[in-house]
Amino acid sequence: MNNDPEQYTKDALSSLASTVTDKAPYFGSLPLHVDTFKIYFDDKNGQAQAVNTANATIEQLNALAAACSIAPFGRGAEAVVDDSYRKAGKLDLPHFAIPFEPEATALVAGIKDSVLEGKAAKRPVRFELYKLNVYGEGGFFKSHKDTPRGAAMFGSLVLVYPTTHTGGALVFRHHGHEWVFDSAAAVHQDGAPAFGYAAFYSDVEHEVLPVTSGYRVTVTYNLYFDDAEDGAEAAVAPPPATATAFATHLQGLLDDPQFLPEGGYLGFGLRHSYPIQFTEDMSPMRRGVQHLLDVLKGADAIVLRAAREAGLPAQLHIAYDTKIYVGGYRGDREITALTTQVMGGDYTEYQLWQHLRAAYGAAFLWPKGHKKYQAEREVHWVTPRTGGSQFTSVMLTYGNDPSLDYHYAELCLLLAVGPAGDRTGKENLTVARGDEYHDWDDRDYRSDPDDYAWPAEDKKEEKNGAKNDDGSDSDPFA
């Protein structure tokens, strides 16, 4: 038995975190009939042309490249042309057409089995043909992320045509991992033409390395979840090794009475981004976030699947890192507030932490040493919050000095772990009893000698309605 419970917990969490890993993007070769590789397009004069990329001459590929305009890239809400960042040509619909139908190939099952997880893997996938790109010699696209075109879009499919070229490999990066897909080699399998394909989540960084010879021709599909669930019972693929490793490790800790003997919460910073949409006045289109549990991606979905298999309650929260004004020379103290609803378009006269408590029933993660700290409510972070699911909320503060404030928020997943012997008996984190109103204890940080309790007369003055410098109540929730 470990004689240092705190160190034991730290080591256990670190070990569990090492099993939270991302799957590689789904890429490979897809040999098909030679006619599948035809491209029909309009030249600059509007005349219809055609090329079969499986046996195209350099003159035919030159004509395809000449029909293209310069390909921009997205920077915020605008399309930008900058050949130091991207050098490629593009054709938009309806100026090209192809006979290929991804729904009729093994790509559908491959994307569900190799990209999606959990409930998302059972949903129908819709392919939307988006654009055609041509990269000539020296063409490239620096590292970037795709811009989702709607809440239902989850990723992209890139098809590389079987033209003779070198270079132009696709490099994927996500949370410190890197994968390289040599698409130039993938388009010829045993002498037969093939598509090189890559399917990946929109928020995975990817880069096209410089083409060193020939033309690299691609089409891109946007991948969407269809609105309706599959009518037929979908076959459930066995969980990947990454999912099995995490689930096994988690269950082992739950079976160990030394691990969180009084219970607590396991926190996971999400590794992917998810659609939080706002109206023009910056109000969220949907306040709640629990519907996103059904569309978690990659490692995030693996954590949720393991929690459900173990019978642990799981809930998405929105984390706001803010500060509490302690008073006088003591200054501010950082605090994390967790809500289950999205803030946005709000009007208030209070500080952020006060507003989150009053309007959203925020649960506060009081640090050890604070008077309101409770061990059984502590969140033990397995994976840190790194900004992968960060978004911005807007709040208008009015009063003597009105201001429009932008606050960063981030989605995180909390698993409720009961005490040893009753691991599944704990409820999801909610506002603590006595924590739903503002009182003196909010400012009582016992861990700092300078912040030990204020004198009794100061407490009395505070509770009797002391005023701030601007004349407003210093304690509006007491």
Q: Look at residue 280 in the predicted model and tell me its pLDDT.
A: 64
Name the more confident of 289 and 100: 100
114-123, 266-275, 430-439, range with the lowest pLDDT: 430-439
- Flag whether pLDDT at 227 surpasses 70: no
Identify the sign of the CA torsion 146, 150, 151, 156: negative
30-39, 168-177, 315-324, 350-359, range with the lowest pLDDT: 350-359
Q: Look at residue 55 in the predicted model and tell me its pLDDT.
A: 96
* Measured distance CA(117)–CA(301) in Å, rounded: 6
Name the more confident of 32 and 80: 32
* Measured distance CA(337)–CA(412) in Å, rounded: 12
pLDDT-derived band at 28, boundaries 50, 70, 90: very high
pLDDT-derived band at 13, boundaries 50, 70, 90: very high
- Flag whether pLDDT at 333 surpasses 70: yes
Q: Look at residue 242 in the predicted model and tell me its pLDDT.
A: 64
Q: What confidence tens digit (pLDDT) does each residue in 407-459 have?
A: 778 999 999 999 999 999 899 988 665 555 445 455 554 444 444 333 333 33
Q: Look at residue 275 in the predicted model and tell me its pLDDT.
A: 77
Kindly state the DSSP code that residue 137 receives in the 8-state scheme: T
Residue-range domain boundaries for the chain: 23-225, 239-417
Name the more confident of 216 and 150: 216
- Flag whether pLDDT at 37 surpasses 60: yes
Mean pLDDT value across the chain:
82
Taking residue 419's Cβ as centre, other Cβ atoms within 10 Å add up to 15
Name the more confident of 475 and 385: 385
Q: Look at residue 273 in the predicted model and tell me its pLDDT.
A: 86
Under CATH, which architecture does the 23-225 domain have? Sandwich (2.60)
- Flag whether pLDDT at 297 surpasses 70: yes
Q: What are phi and psi of 330, to 5 degrees?
A: -70, -20
CA neighbor of 88 nearest in space, from 144, 157, 155, 35: 144
- Overall average pLDDT of the 226-234 stretch: 51
- Overall average pLDDT of the 167-187 stretch: 95
Q: Look at residue 128 in the predicted model and tell me its pLDDT.
A: 96
Q: Look at residue 359 in the predicted model and tell me its pLDDT.
A: 79
* Measured distance CA(430)–CA(428) in Å, rounded: 6
pTM over 0.85: no
Q: What residues are paired with 172 via a beta bridge?
A: 179, 206
- Flag whether pLDDT at 279 surpasses 80: no
